[in-house]
């Protein structure tokens, strides 16, 4: 039986600073324009920084103009094979965060991070996987790939697109994994310098033998679109297609947030919320998003941006009706499956059940 926690209305202290200083223990040159940063997590925060394959960290990067900026970087490490979390950062033209990290971070430095977040993660590592990546999109895909091979039983097929051979991130590690897991791992490198840009028909032909596999896609928007179209054409079920979508963060997710409790005017919904194995009961006021409501009730809810841009607060409605609000980063199938962003949604029915 799950533990039960009933939350009563009343005044609550403001949300505490959730940022944790991580120490850089290694800086790895992955390619000409990409570096990996390995972090040591303070022992008292080790549990908070447990993560699932494919999740990301939100880092606070110093800025002379604004004081700091927040950027999300996927974890390339696997919780099943690596002793420490590792993010991989690729320089982007005009990208302040990526260039600052590549130019300034050294071993021994510390950088503030929020706990791991994200829903781009498999539910079952024993399934068969068809993974798609382009450029730095390999980062969360690599985390999933290593986790499936180490802790799962299924096959893994990776299609990895890059501009040229020098742009390939994790090339040596992929060769080593392909040799170690021969028979379970297949890697196809697609190099634009040799093969040109892939067409939908070419990707569809490649995917056809694996139409029953679970697909995870990460890369530039145009790449993800053509892959999803190709998969749909060869009959891959929509529920087997998962893509990672990031949008730039406008606000400051590291700022201390104070949320005032709204008195219950009788219009609030009775909400039952399952979070980290614990059930919470609270009143969810109409016109108020769920993240703010839970924070006002003193519940440590997962979130980063509170803008509907990162997916950290994604949850599932299992009973009742809600107003979804901004769903730009969610896909149609996600919404059909009941997924929503807790920082955007408001209740419509008198009772709702939610699972994080």
pLDDT value, residue 247: 63
Question: What would the 3-class secondary structure string for the chain be?
Answer: CCCEEECCCCCCCCCCCCCEEEEEEEEEEEECCEEEEEEECCHHHCCCCCCCCCCEEEEEEEECCCEEEEEEEEECCCCCCCCCCEEEEECCCCCHHHHHHHHHCCCCCEEEEEEEECCCCCCCCCCCEEEEEEHHHHHHHHHHHHHHHHHCCCCEEEEEEECCHHHCCCHHHHHHHHHHCCCCEEEEEEEHHHHCCCCHHHHHHHHHHHCCCEEEEECCHHHHHHHHHHHHHCCCCHHHEEECCCCCCCCCCCCCCCCCCCCCCCCCEEEEEEECCEEEEEEECCCCCHHHHHHHCCCCCCCCCCCCCCCCCEEEEEECCEECCCCCCCCHHHHHCCEEECCCCEECCCEEEEEC
Model pLDDT for residues 179-189, shown as the tens digit of each residue? 999 999 999 99
pLDDT at 267: 85
Q: What per-residue confidence (pLDDT) applies to 310? A: 81
- Does the reported pTM lie above 0.85? no
Q: What pLDDT is stored for residue 17 in this prediction? A: 66
Q: Which residues of the chain have pLDDT under 70?
A: 1-17, 246-251
pLDDT given for residue 13 in this prediction: 34
In order of their start, the domains of the chain are 20-117 (2.40.30.10), 129-244 (3.40.50.80), 268-355 (3.10.20.30)
């Amino acid at each position: 039986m799950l533990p039960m926690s009933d939350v009563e209305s009343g005044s609550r202290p403001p949300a505490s600073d959730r940022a944790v200083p991580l120490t850089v223990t290694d800086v790895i040159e992955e390619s000409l324009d990409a570096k990996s940063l390995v972090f040591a997590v303070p022992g008292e925060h080790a549990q908070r920084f447990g993560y699932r394959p494919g999740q990301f960290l939100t880092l606070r990067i110093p800025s002379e103009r604004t004081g700091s900026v927040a950027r999300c970087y996927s974890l390339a490490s696997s919780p099943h094979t690596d002793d420490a979390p590792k993010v991989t950062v690729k320089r982007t033209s005009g990208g302040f965060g990526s260039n600052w990290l590549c130019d300034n971070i050294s071993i021994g430095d510390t950088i503030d991070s929020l706990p791991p977040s994200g829903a781009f993660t498999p539910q079952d590592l024993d399934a068969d996987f068809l993974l798609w990546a382009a450029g730095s999109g390999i980062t969360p895909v690599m985390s999933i790939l290593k986790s499936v091979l180490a802790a799962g039983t299924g096959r893994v097929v990776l299609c990895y697109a890059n501009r040229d051979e020098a742009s390939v991130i994790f090339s040596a590690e992929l060769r080593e994994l392909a040799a170690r897991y021969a028979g379970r791992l297949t890697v196809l490198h697609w190099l634009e310098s040799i093969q040109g840009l892939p067409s939908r028909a070419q990707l569809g032909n490649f995917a056809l033998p694996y139409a029953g596999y679970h697909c995870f896609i990460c890369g530039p928007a145009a790449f993800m679109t053509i892959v999803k179209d190709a998969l749909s054409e060869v009959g891959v079920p929509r529920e087997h297609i998962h893509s990672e979508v990031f949008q730039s963060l406008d606000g400051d997710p590291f700022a201390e947030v104070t949320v005032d409790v709204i008195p219950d005017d009788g219009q609030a919904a009775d909400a039952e919320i399952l979070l980290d194995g614990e059930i919470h009961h609270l009143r969810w006021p109409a016109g108020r998003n769920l993240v703010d409501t839970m924070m006002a009730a003193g519940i440590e809810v997962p979130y980063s941006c509170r803008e509907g841009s990162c997916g950290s607060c994604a949850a599932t409605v299992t009973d009742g009706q809600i107003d979804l609000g901004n769903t730009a980063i969610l896909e149609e199938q996600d919404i059909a499956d009941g997924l929503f962003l807790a920082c955007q949604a408001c209740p419509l029915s008198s009772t709702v059940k939610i699972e994080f």
